[in-house]
Amino acid sequence: MPLAAGEKWWIAWSERLRDFDGPVLVVWAAEDRLMPREHGPRPAALYPRGRLIEIAGSSTLVPEDRPERLARVLTDFLIQTGAEPDRHVR
């Protein structure tokens, strides 16, 4: 079956992700039943500087399940990439 125009656009767009050379963090819920953990490496691999972090004890909604852990992961990522994180996040 041939691809619809919209599908072709999405495929072409996703291929352009490889052109982004900035740091990218993909945060994945380790116990997610909708998006299994084996799917996590693929989005991170789309970017030259992509990195995957799995959050244990979370199933789908990381900000809801593990907000403190997510805040720490994001803060560490911002520090490592040279960004200035909000000083109110601990």
How many helical (H) and strand (E) elements, i.e. helices and strands, does the chain have?
4, 2
Residue 16 inside a domain? The answer is yes
Among 39, 42, 34, 41, smallest CA distance to 59 is for 34
pLDDT for the residue 8: 84
Mean predicted lDDT score pLDDT of the chain: 87
- Report the pLDDT averaged over residues 19-42: 91
- Does residue 78 or residue 15 have the better pLDDT? 78
Residue 89 lies in a domain: no
Query: Does the residue 90 lie in any domain?
Result: no
With a cut of 90, say whether residue 15 has pLDDT above it: no
Residue 38 covered by a domain: yes
Percent of the chain having pLDDT more than 90?
Answer: 50
Q: Which domain holds residue 10?
A: 5-80
**54: closest CA among 77, 67, 70?**
70
Q: What is the SS3 assignment for 33? A: coil
